[in-house]
Amino acid sequence: MVINIRRLGILVALTAVLLLGTALIALSYTSVGIAGSVGAGGVPLSVPDLSTVPESVAEDAAGLAMELYGDYQERHEDFVDRLLAIYGEAKDKDFVVIFNSGGWGWNFLENSPGWRSIFSGIESELAGLGYTSLMLDYRRTDENLRGIIDEGVEMITSYPSKAENLACRVEFLTNHIPDLRVIVTGESDGTVISDSVMNILRYNSQVYSIQTGPPF
């Protein structure tokens, strides 16, 4: 009986250490989501010539990066580059449509058969109404062990960090491109982050959402 209690105690202690280690890894890991044009195979959008970016836009991007990543210089610079890349492609568009995949969050639209036809329909409908659009894949997770742990923690807590990150990008676009409208879409697990983003931006009339399939 005493041996069983000791074994149980050791098991509980090891479980606690494992959970603590997982939490520390997740808290210390700051992923920067990557946006790429649908059909580009995950190639990130190109950073525009900074001379073509208004100074106020560049300063706002840097301020937002500092707010999200603090003194983490590498992530700070990466976020600014990613944000200005989206801005450069979106500034002359009427709509930006962002796809959040299911699963671990690193899949592309081409891996979601149902959504390929939905995206095609959205793009065709907008074009038929005379609107231009930018269709984006959004990879919220790095395809490695730390990325999986980070995504798992975010998933069970309704994406507090990743939803804020994406919401900040969307709000940045609508602030600096006044006539732009953004549609945040999601499939399966991607509906959770999409819903969280919409909750953050619920008072932003330029933002819409389309979601399909239950999470998990």
pLDDT digit string (tens) for 97-144? 999 998 888 888 888 888 889 999 999 999 999 999 999 999 988 888
Are 10 and 81 contained in the same domain? no
- 63-72 pLDDT, tens digit per residue, is 999 998 887 7
Are 174 and 103 contained in the same domain? yes
Q: How confident is the model at residue 51 (pLDDT cuts 50, 70, 90)?
A: confident
Are 56 and 79 contained in the same domain? yes
Total number of domains in the chain: 2
* Tokens linked to 213: 């399939």
Please give the model's pTM, rounded to 2 decimal places: 0.83
Are 68 and 13 contained in the same domain? no
Are 62 and 152 contained in the same domain? yes
Q: Which domain holds residue 135?
A: 32-212
Q: Quick one: pLDDT at residue 19?
A: 45
Are 5 and 104 contained in the same domain? no
- Higher-scoring residue by pLDDT: 37, 180: 180
Q: Say if residues 182 and 174 touch (Cβ distance below 8 Å).
A: yes
H-only helix segments in 29-112:
55-69, 73-90
Q: How confident is the model at residue 23 (pLDDT cuts 50, 70, 90)?
A: very low
